[in-house]
């Protein structure tokens, strides 16, 4: 097995393990310990921490020389191998705490050139998204069947969604920042976007939004104020599915962000959201 394939295998194992742990906790009911981080709406639970600790232990056992960056507990280690694991142990914490089945576990490994391999596991649907740089983007369903992702979707009328009509028939995914002032600016941008597209969805897990765009469930995704652990694995899945990825620079009260879209949509969408 090549090193990228072995790294992906470990990422998949870690993501599935974290997801299974979270499913067990969700079945027990409300979390006993919930705290705020950057704002009162930016929540972290003991479930986030427990998932990250379990994943970190597995990675330390299997790859002790690698670096590590996790969302929780301020955990960051440089390592000596030139590789670093980037982990969001529970992407969509607010959904998890409110019993909304839209959250995931994201595990990626990066070298000096960017993300090398990554996996995003959605335990609520039993779906695993994965990719290795330069390879294919894959979706493994709950039945174990695998499909290659290409970002192409089919609309209810049977045609390839947005193939001829561009942005006006596109389904767009996005997210909102925790900072109230930033959310206000994002609302203004969204108000300009909504009349120009088929519709907009805001579900709460950046990793899943990216993977669902790669799967053609959305035509494009953009979001400001995302962190490395939010997008490391999902961005790679989108790239390997053939989507166009571009950065959204800081602008007029809006922090840095990311845009992923099917070819042909990026330029027009950027003019609105950037």
**What is the SS3 assignment for 104-121?**
EEEEEEEECCEEEEEEEE
Q: In this structure, which CATH number among 3.40.640.10, 3.20.20.140, 3.30.540.10, 3.40.50.2000 belongs to the domain 3-148?
A: 3.30.540.10
Predicted confidence at residue 157, as pLDDT, reads 44
The domain ranges of the chain are 3-148, 166-273
Residue 212 Cα distances to 55, 122, 224, 254, angstroms: 24, 11, 18, 24
The series of mean pLDDT values per 10 residues for the chain, 274 residues long, is 89 98 83 54 70 96 96 80 96 92 97 97 98 97 95 56 72 95 95 97 97 97 96 98 97 94 95 94
DSSP string, 168-189: GG-EEEE---SSHHHHHHHHHH
Predicted confidence at residue 42, as pLDDT, reads 44
Q: Closest by alpha carbon to 273, among 189, 195, 209, 176?
A: 189
Predicted confidence at residue 138, as pLDDT, reads 98
Q: Phi then psi for 214, rounded to 5 degrees?
A: -60, -30
Predicted confidence at residue 52, as pLDDT, reads 94
Predicted confidence at residue 151, as pLDDT, reads 86
- C-alpha span between 245 and 229 (Å, rounded): 17
Pairing of strands 171-174, 220-224: parallel
Q: In this structure, which CATH number among 3.40.50.10860, 3.40.190.80, 3.40.50.970, 3.40.50.2300 belongs to the domain 166-273?
A: 3.40.190.80
């Amino acid at each position: 097995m090549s090193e990228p394939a072995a790294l992906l295998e470990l990422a998949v194992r870690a993501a599935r393990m974290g997801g299974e742990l979270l499913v067990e906790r969700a079945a027990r009911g409300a979390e006993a310990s919930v705290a705020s981080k950057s704002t009162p709406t930016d929540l972290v639970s003991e479930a986030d921490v427990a998932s990250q600790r379990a994943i970190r232990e597995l990675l330390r056992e299997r790859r002790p020389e690698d670096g590590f960056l996790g969302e929780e507990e301020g955990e960051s280690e440089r390592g000596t191998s030139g590789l670093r694991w980037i982990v969001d142990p529970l992407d969509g914490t607010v959904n998890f705490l409110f019993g909304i089945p839209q959250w995931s576990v994201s595990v990626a490994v990066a070298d000096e050139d960017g993300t090398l391999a990554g996996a995003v596991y959605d335990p609520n649907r039993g779906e695993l998204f994965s990719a290795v740089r330069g390879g294919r983007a894959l979706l493994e369903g709950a039945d174990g069947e695998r499909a290659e992702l290409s970002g192409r979707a089919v609309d209810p009328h049977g045609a390839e969604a947005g193939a001829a009509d561009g942005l006006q028939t596109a389904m767009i995914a996005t997210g909102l920042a925790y900072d109230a002032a930033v959310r206000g600016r994002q609302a203004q941008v969204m108000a300009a976007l909504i009349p120009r597209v088929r519709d907009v969805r805001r579900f709460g897990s950046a990793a899943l939004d990216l993977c669902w765009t790669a799967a053609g469930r959305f035509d494009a995704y953009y979001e400001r104020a995302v962190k490395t652990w939010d997008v490391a694995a999902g961005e790679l899945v989108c790239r390997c599915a053939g989507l166009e990825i571009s950065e959204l620079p800081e602008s007029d009260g809006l922090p840095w962000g990311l845009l992923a879209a099917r070819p042909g949509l990026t330029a027009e969408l950027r003019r609105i959201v950037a």
